[in-house]
Amino acid sequence: MTVGENIQEMRREMGITIEELARRVGSDRFHIREIEARGDHITVFELRFFARALHTTSMKLIGFEDLGKYNIQTITIGKDKTE
Please check whether residue 45 lies inside any domain of the structure: yes
Between CA 23 and CA 36 the distance in angstroms is 15
Residue 55 sits at the vertex; the CA angle it makes with 6 and 26, to the nearest 5 degrees, is: 85
In a 10 Å sphere around its CB, with 0-12 CB exposed, 13-18 middle and 19+ buried, how is residue 20 labelled? middle
- Report how many domains make up the chain: 1
| Confidence (pLDDT) at 43 | 87
Q: Which three-class secondary structure state does DSSP give residue 72?
A: coil
User: Which residue would you say has higher pLDDT here, 83 or 6?
Assistant: 6
pTM of the entire structure? 0.75
Please check whether residue 13 lies inside any domain of the structure: yes
Give the CATH number of the domain where residue 22 resides. Answer: 1.10.260.40
pLDDT in tens, 27-50: 999 999 999 998 767 888 899 999
Please check whether residue 82 lies inside any domain of the structure: no
The boundaries of the domain holding residue 21 are 3-70
Please check whether residue 61 lies inside any domain of the structure: yes
User: Which residue would you say has higher pLDDT here, 15 or 1?
Assistant: 15
